[in-house]
Amino acid sequence: MPNFQSVGSINLQSGDKLSWEFEMPAATSATEKGAIPYGTTIASVVVTAYNSAGDVVTTDLIVGTPSVLNNIVTTVLKYPTTNGDGRYKLTFACMLSTGQTRQFDFKRVIAENT
C-alpha cells in the first residue's frame, strides 16, 4: 500500500492557496501492509517544507498549522512567493498513538508561475 493516498503531484501557480489532504493509512491487519502499523493512528504531525536545495521554506509554502484527523493530514499550501518557481518537498513527522514516530516525504510539489 502506498504511503500516501493523494494526487500524483501538486502544482501551484501564483495566487494559489489550496487545502490538501494526505492520508497515511494504517495496515488493515497485523499481517497486511500499511503506511502505519495495524491498530495505530497518527496522534500529531509536524509538516516541514524544503526547496530543491534542501533549505527549509515552510513559512513560504505552508499556511497556518497542519491538522490531523483519522490518519489524514490536512495542510494549506500556497505559491511560494519568496522562493518562486521550482520543486518542493514536504516532510511529515508523525507521532503515532503508540509513541513511535514515522516520517513520510512527499517530493512532488511543483510551483510554476505560468
Spatial distance between the Cα atoms of 61 and 12, rounded to a whole number of angstroms: 10
Residue spans of the domains in the chain: they are 10-111
Give residue 114's pLDDT. Answer: 72
pLDDT at 7 over 90: no
24 within 8 A of 44, measured Cβ to Cβ: no
pLDDT, position 1: 35
pLDDT, tens only, 45-89: 999 999 999 999 999 999 999 999 999 999 999 999 999 999 999
Rounded (10°) CA dihedral 56, 57, 59, 63: -120
Give one DSSP letter per residue of 57-101, joined into a string.
-HHHHEEEEEEEETTEEEEEEE--TTT-SEEEEEEEEEEETTS-E
**Look-up: residue for cell 494526505?**
22
Residues 6+ away with beta carbon under 8 Å from 4: 22, 23, 24, 35, 104, 106
Check residue 2 and give its pLDDT: 42
Q: pTM for this one? A: 0.90
**pLDDT value, residue 8:** 78
Fold of domain 10-111:
Immunoglobulin-like (2.60.40)
* pLDDT at 5 exceeding the cut of 90: no
Identify the H or E element spanning 105: strand 101-111
